[in-house]
Amino acid sequence: MSVDATAIFWFTIYKPWLWAGPIMVVVVIILLYYEMGVSALIGAAFIPVFGVVQYKMTDVLARLKNLIMKTSDTRLKKINELLQGMKLLMLCAWEEMFCSSVEKVREQQVKLMMKSGAYMIVGMSTAKTLNAIVTLISFVSYSLLNPHPLTPELAFVTLAFFAQLATPIFVFARSLHCKVKCSRTEHQLNAFL
């Protein structure tokens, strides 16, 4: 139940980003277009690709977290079983067998946690490098397509605009994930009630 409440809590926090995020991205891209022209659109064309990657990463992370919770429940059940039958275990000398069973489940849980951590690192790295990649693509395309040189004035204004894209893109993917998780929670709660 606490997981369900947490899913609803996070969705209420991220819900405004479902409409505000895309609006912010569109406004910034329009401003970039006025500054850089077509080059801004070429760079911005990579944003949806990164958005899909971010969404897939959050989806994989959600599935891994569910698996981690299931293995954690299994481990806790085994430990509870071990504690409930402590006298019998000691009497029959089954401690080693039950300990190895708990250790196997714990190893599985740690592997899933490491995998989840690796996906989280890749997802965060992708989100943090998005601005640099999109900016670089825009600057290169501007240099190739435009007869005017890239001035520091234009470069710094463009960098400021691209910096404004980081938060809405990252948070929008997270808010979509929270929406999906909240929908699942809603179906589970409706079945329960």
Q: What pLDDT is stored for residue 1 in this prediction?
A: 52
Q: What pLDDT is stored for residue 115 in this prediction?
A: 87
**Read out DSSP for 20-45?**
HHHHHHHHHHHHHHHHHTHHHHHHHT
pLDDT digits (tens, 9 = 90+) for 16-38: 888 888 899 899 999 999 999 99
Contact 179, 11 (CB under 8 A): yes
d(CA 69, CA 140): 46
Query: Among 129, 70, 75, which residue's Cα sits nearest to residue 100?
Result: 75
pTM exceeds 0.75: no
Q: Provide the 3-class DSSP secondary structure of residue 71.
A: helix
Q: Name the residue with tokens 């395309």.
A: 141
Contact 158, 44 (CB under 8 A): no
Identify the architecture of domain 2-192 in CATH: Up-down Bundle (1.20)
Return the H-helix or E-strand segment holding 62.
helix 47-84
Mean pLDDT of 109-130: 82
**For the chain, domain boundaries:** 2-192
